[in-house]
């Protein structure tokens, strides 16, 4: 049997590339799946959501193979696969979805009802998402292949844009989902909380959707400098504890049309001290978003956070000023992004040079063997999106 290596979570702040089992066409319970493929992983990315687990902020078990952002080449087909072909280069949504249940039929693949016995929704290499083996590896199995996978129409063209197309598995559709659900359109004034890769993907999506101004707030000066170089208005949250004042200083008005939370539950309070405050972003967005506006929340929130600083947050309870949002008739959109709803149109935007997302998020290719260092650098706030290259196929 062929060998395989993958990035394994070994406990708080520790990951290691180890030998792992070569993928089998079966679900985590051991049941055979014929509607599946095995991929040679061409690219797989380190995500901020992975960092939550590695920091020990979830109930992720040790020994888990990480990775939910996957692009790969089909090398083996299950007997029930009809339309995906061997040799196809495909983008893999991070959602594991059956394609048959009520929510999948509604294009809500982030909450598939059949792939996770514990709750709605499945994902590769992620805690509480069904136990599916992750794709930060040389090879991975993808179930329900005809439904989930989208082949790139021209393999050579796709490889020439692989640093852009690798973002289709998660962060680009996640950012787009946040912007769409926040109601971003032509002429919108937009605020994005967080200048990490998802925040930058959100900002890029807002521009594609026609926003007039896109502001990004963060405390990381390196990330803010990169955001500014990409054409977005940076707001340094360490300079004031009042987001409304910063927005007024930037654009001459105190409210925005649409706002998006690209931070999630490990948020820190605005200002110089920056103490952890899980609901601070949500509360600030209710303050700055206009009446009858919308707030997109693609940032991750968890049901259990063992590393939380207060007891309520350990079970996902946040101190939200929800009455303010109610009084302003805000609409809140939360949850895992249903990637299949967006990634075909976003693929076309990339292939036709409308969306240079690799440049926008500063995609940085490293070999699989350097994954642990990539995690460490990303955790320190590097203004980069690390792309793992398991087989040395991405070049310089």
Closest C-alpha to 260, from 288, 233, 236: 288
CA-based torsion, 115, 118, 119, 123: positive or negative: negative
Please state, in angstroms and rounded to a whole number, the distance separating the CA atoms of residues 299 and 320. 15
Here the tokens at position 51 are 């960092």
Helices (H), 63-125: 102-105
Q: Which CATH superfamily is domain 5-170+338-389 in?
A: Medium-chain alcohol dehydrogenases, catalytic domain (3.90.180.10)
Closest CA to 75 of 18, 23, 28: 23
- Distance of alpha carbon 67 from alpha carbon 125, whole angstroms: 5
Distance CA 10, CA 369 (A): 16
CA-closest candidate to residue 63, choices 53, 71, 72:
53
For 38-68, what is each residue's pLDDT tens digit? Answer: 999 999 999 999 999 999 999 999 999 999 9
pLDDT at 271 over 80: no
Token readout for 80 is 């029930």
Closest by CA position to 42, among listed 123, 106, 136, 111: 136
For the domain with range 175-334, which CATH number is right: 3.40.50.720, 3.60.15.10, 3.30.499.10, 3.50.30.50?
Answer: 3.40.50.720
Within 10 Å of residue 137's Cβ, how many Cβ atoms? 31
Confidence at residue 353, expressed as pLDDT on a 0 to 100 scale = 97
pLDDT digits (tens, 9 = 90+) for 231-261: 999 999 999 999 999 999 999 999 999 999 9
**pLDDT, position 272:** 66
The two structure tokens encoding residue 312: 């309520």
- If you ran DSSP here, which 8-state letter would residue 47 be given? -
Token match 């990169």: residue?
226
- Start-end ranges of CATH 3.40.50.720 in the chain? 175-334
Structure tokens at 194: 């967080």
Q: Where in the chain is the domain with CATH 3.90.180.10?
A: 5-170+338-389
Task: Determine the average pLDDT of the residues in 332-357.
Answer: 97
Q: Is the pLDDT at 273 greater than 80, yes or no?
A: no
Q: What is the pLDDT of residues 166-220, one digit of tens each?
A: 999 999 999 999 999 999 999 999 999 999 999 999 999 999 999 999 999 999 9
CB proximity list for 176: less than 8 A, separation 6 or greater = 201, 202, 205, 208, 342, 346
Residue 359 CA to residue 350 CA, distance in Å, equals 12
Taking the C-alpha atoms of residue 235 and residue 251, their distance in angstroms, rounded to an integer, is 11
Give the pLDDT confidence score for residue 395 in this predicted structure: 76
What's this model's pTM, rounded to 2 decimal places? Answer: 0.96
Backbone angles phi, psi at 74, to 5 degrees: -70, 125
């Amino acid at each position: 049997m062929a060998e395989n290596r993958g990035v394994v979570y070994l406990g708080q702040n520790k990951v290691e590339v180890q030998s792992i089992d070569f993928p089998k066409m079966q679900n985590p319970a051991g049941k055979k799946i014929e509607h599946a493929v095995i991929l040679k992983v061409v690219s797989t990315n380190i995500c901020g959501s992975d960092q939550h687990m590695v920091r020990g902020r979830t109930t992720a078990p040790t020994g888990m193979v990480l990775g939910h952002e996957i692009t790969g080449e089909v090398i083996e087909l299950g007997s029930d696969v009809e339309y995906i072909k061997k040799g196809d280069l495909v983008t893999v949504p991070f959602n594991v979805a059956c394609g048959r249940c009520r929510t999948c039929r509604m294009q809500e693949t982030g909450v598939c009802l059949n792939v996770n016995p514990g709750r709605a929704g499945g994902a590769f290499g992620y805690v509480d998402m069904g136990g599916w083996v992750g794709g930060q590896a040389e090879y991975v199995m993808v179930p329900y292949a005809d439904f989930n996978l989208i082949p790139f129409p021209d393999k050579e063209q796709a490889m020439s844009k692989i640093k852009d197309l690798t973002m289709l598995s998660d962060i680009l559709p996640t950012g787009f989902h946040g912007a769409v659900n926040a109601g971003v359109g032509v002429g919108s004034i937009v605020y994005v909380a967080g200048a990490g890769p998802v925040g930058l993907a959100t900002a890029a999506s807002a521009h594609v959707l026609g926003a007039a101004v896109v502001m990004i707030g963060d405390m990381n000066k390196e990330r803010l400098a990169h955001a500014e170089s990409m054409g977005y208005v940076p707001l340094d949250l360490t300079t004031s504890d009042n987001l409304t004042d910063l927005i007024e200083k930037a654009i001459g008005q105190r409210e925005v049309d649409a706002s998006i939370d690209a931070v999630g539950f490990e948020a820190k309070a605005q200002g110089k001290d920056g103490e952890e405050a899980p609901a601070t972003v949500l509360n600030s967005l209710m303050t700055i978003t206009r009446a009858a506006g919308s707030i997109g929340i693609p940032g991750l929130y968890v049901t259990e956070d063992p590393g939380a600083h207060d007891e309520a947050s350990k079970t996902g309870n946040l101190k939200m000023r929800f009455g303010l949002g109610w009084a302003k008739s805000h609409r809140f959109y939360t949850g895992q992004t249903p990637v299949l709803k967006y990634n075909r149109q976003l693929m076309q935007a990339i292939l036709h040079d409308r969306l240079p997302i690799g440049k926008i998020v500063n995609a940085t290719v490293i070999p699989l063997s350097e994954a642990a260092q990539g995690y460490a650098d990303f955790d320190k706030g590097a203004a980069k999106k690390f792309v793992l290259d398991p087989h040395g196929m991405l070049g310089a």
